[in-house]
A and B are shown apart, each in its own frame.
Chain A
Amino acid sequence: MALTRDDLKNLVMTYKKSLDAQKKKIFVCAGTGCVAVGSLHIYDEFIRLMKEKEISCEVKLEREPHDDSVGIKKSGCHGFCEMGPMVRIEPEGWMYIKVTPKDCAEIIEKSVAANQFIERLGYQKEGQVYPTQEEIPFYKHQTRLVLEHCGRMDATSIGEYLALGGYAAFEKALFDMSPDEVVAEIVASNLRGRGGGGFLAGRKWTQVRQQKEPIKYIVCNGDEGDPGAFMDGSIMEGDPHRMLEGMMIASIACGASEGYIYVRAEYPLSVSRLGMAISQARECGLLGKNILGSGHDFDIKICKGAGAFVCGEGSALTASIEGKRGMPRVKPPRTVEHGLFGKPTVLNNVETFANVPLIIQNGAKWYKSIGPEKSPGTKTFALTGNIGNTGLIEVPMGMTLRQVIFDIGGGISGGADFKAVQIGGPSGGCLTKDQLDLPLDFDSLKKAGAMIGSGGLVVMDENTCMVEVARFFMNFTKNESCGKCVPCREGTKRMLEILERIVAGQGEIEDLDMMLDLADTIKATALCGLGKTATSPVVGTIKNFRQEYEAHILEKRCPANVCQKLKRITIDKELCHGCSKCANSCPVGAITGKIKEPFVIDIEK
């Protein structure tokens, strides 16, 4: 147990020695995605084989360094989810993809014992093999700062986090800086909340610091409910200490002695890793009373969500922690004055807190040198949908969509054309081909009628029906509306009804104006952010894909051929042998053609 600053320094030294003694390290991805495709079996197989071959291996970082052993670690998400399960070998930085337990023996034999790269397990594209992670195009264009440890550290070990320089920023803030200096550094960094709105974190912290109330709270919003977004989950699983460290620094800055993490129940792995991290931090004296003899008290509790999207909203989230229905309330007063249990509360999301140690460690000036000045730093995105490289990425703010989708994401999967990208979840918008060169930052997206939101990027190809996508999001918000205010409860329901009519081929052209009218009203009158932005996907798709709506309404046709009720039957020319069976049985004689040549259907008949 570390009790003083010096004790902590010694602890860091011993862990560092221990880690350095591991000449080889095997990182098996243990993120939600890779676990789903069996990565834990690979981990077990490695340990079994090492024991069988009597190779000295360590699964835990010991305080007593062992010479020349192999470290086997369950790491956080490597990010390149499409290629999972993934195994990284250090110090070489080799990355093996789609590994199965059968490959483990060969990896030990060649890569661990003989320092050889196994070509067949490496990432290959167009005949070229990319041995190291850094060379793979998916990683090459990224700047991984918040995610630097994800995939390169045992996510369950505080020892490794300490050995890699973790908690140094906390130590600095605790002993070498005054709370005012900490707040000033965050203000100077222009760090903007990564949860969606992009509100300046420094301003929030200043406001809470100024409150006279003696009890204050630090709350971390880990209720990442946006469908298609999993960045925060990956940070909580892959580098839980980084986020805790951010919260601890906030507690010094604002004078809070209690913190809460609100995590959605759909992330069981995050809940367990955070729980582990908190008890490890307590054991090392980093959480609790009189931390490292500084006189500062701070402890953190975890609250598991119970499945309500609206609880991502500040006032609903605090209500839920208090054991109430998670319904938003009228603001002001805002959370900074009247938050959890009525006390001033700093409420930031996971990624925002994870940025804090970097800023304290390297300074605001360094932070502002990354990305545009008004939206500095990096942003993590969950790249999903019809894209070649699905995964978790981190890029400097201001990178263009084109770079993200084509350079990092490898373009559209399956050879179809790019159609749109949905950004910012149910509150965001769709961006089209014309907007591919738009820089991704808070301000330019806002101008384009979209938002970064929590950072889900769902790429859609030409086989996606935009009207159906709008219906999908409206269905989601209708289901998730808490029901407290009429505009949201009734408005989303009526809009969904109209959209359902349109996809069923019963829409009328007046519906479009009606929906835009409704959207205006809901936006102007809804109580909380969920309601105010609920109509964004509809407004965005009407604006950018009006012709698709019109095709559904006027021509009773779904251009992407998705909507069931408007589906048209076609004959696949590649598969048709020209047997005439279909033509003979068609009651209206709509199918014609020559024997042994592909037949065609005349839809008009």
Chain B
Amino acid sequence: MDDKLNFQELDEILEKYRYDSTQIIPILQDTQAKYRYLPKEAFTYLSEKLGMTVAKIYSVATFYENFSLQPKGKYVIRSCDGTACHVRKSLPILERMRSELGLSATKVTTDDLMFTVETVSCFGACGFGPVITVNDEVYPTMTPEKASELLVKLRGEF
């Protein structure tokens, strides 16, 4: 993806929240929804428009787990590691996906920006654990084998 920002889109977001700096979290959420991460350029632009220092915005963006300063993959796969999924053996699924994609706990996105694999604490679909989500769609009762098949399918769709 190109790093050039479309400031008009950011203006629309700012407009929606009436340039209110206490709304910085939803503003960043909407920005991230557009670009799948928070591009550097957005910080300076938002800082000017909201009258907040870049440092302040940066401090919010780095505190919350859902914000990413790195580009994310086309498919963001979240593996649930909540207690319920954990006792139903969610770890082997995560390990399988990481090993097949060459990812680790520190390297979460593939170089071709196809896949991002992260863990998450609970989706509230514990009855069907272990679960993973791909771009917010929930896949229930996973196994390492099913996860491999899913990766193959997603690759084919690209």
Binding site for B on A (CB under 8 A): 32-33, 35-37, 81-82, 84, 224-230, 233-234, 265-268, 303-309, 320-327, 382, 384-386, 390-391, 422, 425, 456, 458, 460, 464, 469, 472-473, 476, 480, 482
Contact = CB atoms under 8 A, between A and B. Distances in A.
Contacts of B127: 33, 81-82, 84, 384, 390-391
Given A32-B124, A325-B59, 16 more contacts: A33-B124, A36-B131, A37-B128, A227-B86, A227-B122, A234-B124, A266-B123, A267-B124, A307-B66, A309-B121, A323-B21, A385-B84, A456-B83, A458-B83, A460-B87, A464-B87
Contacts of A228: 82-84, 122, 126
Nearest to B121: A227
Interface in B124-151: 124-129, 131, 136, 138-140
B83 A422 contact: yes
A425 B83 contact: yes
Interface string B11-31: 000000000011111101100
Nearest to A37: B140
Given A268-B136, A458-B87, A472-B86, A226 B64 contact: no
Interface residues of B, number: 37
B59 to A, nearest CB: 6
B106 to A, nearest CB: 14
B120 interface: yes
Nearest to B119: A479
Given A33-B127, A81-B127, A425-B83, A230 B122 contact: yes
Nearest to B59: A325
Nearest to B137: A36
A327 B64 CA distance: 11
B128 A230 contact: no
Contacts of B23: 323
B88 interface: yes
B125 A36 contact: yes
Nearest to B32: A306
A266 B84 contact: no
Contact of B65 (A230, A308, A456): A308
B5 interface: no
24 contacts: A32-B125, A32-B138, A33-B125, A33-B127, A35-B138, A227-B81, A227-B86, A227-B122, A228-B82, A230-B122, A265-B66, A266-B121, A304-B26, A307-B64, A307-B67, A322-B22, A323-B22, A323-B25, A325-B60, A385-B84, A386-B88, A390-B84, A460-B87, A469-B87
Nearest to B20: A323
B63 interface: yes
Contacts of A464: 87
B9 to A, nearest CB: 19
A307 B22 CA distance: 18
